[in-house]
């Protein structure tokens, strides 16, 4: 099995029955990774079984990810069927993984870029500049110049100073005014930093008019990890009001950008994508005529459920607490690596045992095993580096493996190399049939 996996990893990429990805595959450079056509669990098992303590291969037990490109594609199909009018512009900041971005470029969606290097990454794949929105309301001057040189015209703003800067650097830009919405029900409240309050909208638009700038529409962001679908409808009402202010000043707005904040496929309770679509779709249709183009900037939605992390138990400490035995486990990716989402994105992550005492746990019944209160820690020397404080787990040994689902959004992209730990390897598969 080990050899088979090795062979797959060094062979030229093999791609599946996803027609658009197939077409694009023909242009792929040879150094791109293989995409397997195996279930995620099988990829994980083969990888784990390829690790042998007898071989002492360098770094063989490093933590790794399995990325399911097919899950990203399934999320795209779900979007098209539930929000057909709204064009997704993938927020690349959530996961700039080259294979994810390649797939989304190939299927023709747009991109929300926050910086020059994100714009460069997308342009380098042959994406037309019209398919990009530079959705960062405060931009570095030289990045605006770069956008101008590459005809990336759509960009957001939320303050008068930015308008003066854009007038100087890119007077023909197509500007989108980002308004403030109620993001109090979101895990990451972006309104603390960006978004013009409604009372400032008329004066900002007047400034744009005085500077002879081209404002083409309105955008908002209800906050990332939004927990209330009604926030989207409320924001659409605000956007309608802002549109009307623009029309009063003689602007002809024809773009509404409903931002990000959409839940990933992992979210089953509370706010689901279905619930958001059932509110947002009709709200947009009721308040905006069909000549208004409607786009969105989903990030988490596309990638959260597509990435699974697997970590290796590199240490165990037995703790006696109130006559109870508890365990502390140390694994080889953590809060300063891919699990930074716990700190920055307010995520709660859940461990699943893959092997126990070197035996395949996934082939055993888990119900009968005695479990102990356990905490799981990352590999650095810092005590903030804790992934789970009170998990109930069977006794694990050094060398066992733990899996973490839904690790695709705001994880790898913000991982540091603190304490000298490298970013986890990514193995690609495609489960789309
Ligand atoms: C401007 C902008 N658009 C889109 C997103 C993506 O948000 P989400 O991943 O919640 O969809 C973000 C996230 O920070 C953002 O800042």
Number of H helices, E strands in the chain: 13, 21
Per DSSP, helices labelled H in 224-325 are 230-248, 273-287, 300-303
pLDDT digit string (tens) for the chain, length 433 residues: 333 433 333 343 334 445 445 544 445 555 788 999 999 999 999 999 888 766 667 788 999 999 999 999 999 999 999 999 999 999 999 999 999 999 999 999 999 999 999 999 999 999 999 999 999 999 999 999 999 999 999 999 999 999 999 999 999 999 999 999 998 988 888 988 999 999 999 999 999 999 999 999 999 999 998 889 999 999 999 999 999 999 999 999 999 999 999 999 988 778 999 999 999 999 999 999 999 999 999 999 999 999 999 999 999 999 998 889 999 999 999 999 999 999 998 899 999 999 998 788 776 655 678 999 999 999 999 999 999 999 999 999 999 999 999 999 999 999 999 999 988 999 999 999 8
201-210 and 160-169 helices, crossing angle to 10°: 20
By the 10 Å C-beta count (0-12 exposed, 13-18 middle, 19+ buried), 126 is classed as exposed
Find the 109 Cα to ligand 1 centroid distance in Å. 16
Task: Map tokens 């299927």 to a residue.
Answer: 107
| 190 CB within 6 A, ligand 1 | yes
| 135 CB within 6 A, ligand 1 | yes
Structure tokens given for 427: 């193995």
Largest interatomic CA distance in the chain: 75
| 221 CB within 6 A, ligand 1 | yes
DSSP letters along 40-93, please?
A: HHHHHHHHHHT--TTT--TTTT--EEEEEHHHHHHHHHHHHHH-TTEEEEEEGG
Cα–Cα dist 388/390, whole Å = 6
| 178 CB within 6 A, ligand 1 | no
For the CA of 178, the nearest atom of ligand 1: 1
Give the Å distances, CA to CA, from 28 to 95, 98, 106, 125, 184.
20, 11, 11, 10, 44
Find the 399 Cα to ligand 1 centroid distance in Å. 37
Residues 310, 381, 386, 413: which is the catalytic one? 381
Pairing of strands 401-404, 351-353: antiparallel
Cα–Cα dist 333/340, whole Å = 10
Nearest CA to ligand 1 atom 1: 135
Query: What are the backbone angles phi and psi of residue 298, rounded to the nearest 5°?
Result: -70, 135
Q: What is the CA radius of gyration of the chain?
A: 24
For the CA of 262, the nearest atom of ligand 1: 11
Find the 223 Cα to ligand 1 centroid distance in Å. 7
Q: Angle CA(295)–CA(18)–CA(405) in degrees, nearest 5?
A: 75
Beta carbons of 255 and 292 less than 8 angstroms apart: yes
Q: Is 408 left (phi over 0), alpha (psi -120 to 50) or beta?
A: alpha
| 262 CB within 6 A, ligand 1 | yes
Cα–Cα dist 13/64, whole Å = 19
Residue 216: predicted pLDDT: 98
**Ligand 1, residues 221, 229, 409, 411: which to mutate, most atoms within 8 A of Cβ?**
221
Residue 29: predicted pLDDT: 57
For the CA of 114, the nearest atom of ligand 1: 1
141-149 and 160-169 helices, crossing angle to 10°: 50
Cα–Cα dist 291/425, whole Å = 45
Find the 147 Cα to ligand 1 centroid distance in Å. 20
| 223 CB within 6 A, ligand 1 | no
| 299 CB within 6 A, ligand 1 | yes
Residue 87's nearest CA partner among 266, 255, 263, 288 is 255
CB atoms under 10 Å from CB of 351, counted, come to: 20
| 72 CB within 6 A, ligand 1 | no
Query: What are the backbone angles phi and psi of residue 266, rounded to the nearest 5°?
Result: -70, -20
CB atoms under 10 Å from CB of 354, counted, come to: 20
Find the 31 Cα to ligand 1 centroid distance in Å. 31
DSSP-derived 3-state class of residue 332: coil
**Ligand 1, residues 183, 224, 410: which to mutate, most atoms within 8 A of Cβ?**
224
| 229 CB within 6 A, ligand 1 | no
Residue 194's nearest CA partner among 211, 209, 208, 181 is 181
Find the 94 Cα to ligand 1 centroid distance in Å. 7
Spell out the domains of the chain, with CATH numbers in brackets. Answer: 2-66+308-429 (2.40.37.10), 96-298 (3.20.20.10)
Which residues lie below 8 Å from residue 148, measured CB to CB, with a gap of 6+?
169, 170, 172, 173
Residue 232's nearest CA partner among 258, 271, 254, 265 is 258
Residue 26: predicted pLDDT: 46
Find the 367 Cα to ligand 1 centroid distance in Å. 40
For the CA of 301, the nearest atom of ligand 1: 11
CB atoms under 10 Å from CB of 110, counted, come to: 22
| 112 CB within 6 A, ligand 1 | yes
Structure tokens given for 191: 């309104």
**Known catalytic membership, residue 381:** yes
Cα–Cα dist 399/395, whole Å = 12
Cα–Cα dist 120/124, whole Å = 6
């Amino acid at each position: 099995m080990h050899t088979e996996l090795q062979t797959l990893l060094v062979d030229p990429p093999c791609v599946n029955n996803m027609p658009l990805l197939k077409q694009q595959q023909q242009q792929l450079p040879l150094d791109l990774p293989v995409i397997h056509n195996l279930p995620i669990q099988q990829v994980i098992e083969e990888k784990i079984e390829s690790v042998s303590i007898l071989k002492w291969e360098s770094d063989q037990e490093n933590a790794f990810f399995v990325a399911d490109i097919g899950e990203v594609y399934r999320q795209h199909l779900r979007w098209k069927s539930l929000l057909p009018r709204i064009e997704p512009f993938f927020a690349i900041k959530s996961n700039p993984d080259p294979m994810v971005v390649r797939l989304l470029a190939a299927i023709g969606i747009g991109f929300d870029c926050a910086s020059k290097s994100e714009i460069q990454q997308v342009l380098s794949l042959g994406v037309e500049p019209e398919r990009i929105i530079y959705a960062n309301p405060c931009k570095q001057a030289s990045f605006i110049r770069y956008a101008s040189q590459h005809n990336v015209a759509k960009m957001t703003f939320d303050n008068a100073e930015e308008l003066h800067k854009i007038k100087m650097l890119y007077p023909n830009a197509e500007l989108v005014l980002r308004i403030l919405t109620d993001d109090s029900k979101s895990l990451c409240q972006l309104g603390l930093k960006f978004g013009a309050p409604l009372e400032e909208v008329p004066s900002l638009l007047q400034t744009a008019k005085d500077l002879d700038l081209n404002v083409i529409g309105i955008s908002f962001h209800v906050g990332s990890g939004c927990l209330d679908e009604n926030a989207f409808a409320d924001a659409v009402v605000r956007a309608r009001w802002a549109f009307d202010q623009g029309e009063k000043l003689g602007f002809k707005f024809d773009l509404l950008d409903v931002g990000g904040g959409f839940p990933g496929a992992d979210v089953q309770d509370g706010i689901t994508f279905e619930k958001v679509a059932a509110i947002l779709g009709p709200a947009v249709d009721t308040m905006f005529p069909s000549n208004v183009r409607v786009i969105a900037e989903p990030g988490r939605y596309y990638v959260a459920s597509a990435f699974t992390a697997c970590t290796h138990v590199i240490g165990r400490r037995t703790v006696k607490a109130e006559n109870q035995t508890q365990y502390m486990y140390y694994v080889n990716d953590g809060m300063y690596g891919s699990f930074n989402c716990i700190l920055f994105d307010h995520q709660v992550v859940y461990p699943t045992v893959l092997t126990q005492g070197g035996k395949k746990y996934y082939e055993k019944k888990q119900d009968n095993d005695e479990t102990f209160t356990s905490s799981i820690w990352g590999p650095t020397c810092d005590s903030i580096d804790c992934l789970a404080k009170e998990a109930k787990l069977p006794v694990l040994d050094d060398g066992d493996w733990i899996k973490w689902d839904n690790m695709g959004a705001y994880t790898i992209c913000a991982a540091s190399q603190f304490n000298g730990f490298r970013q986890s390897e990514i193995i690609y598969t495609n489960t789309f049939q």
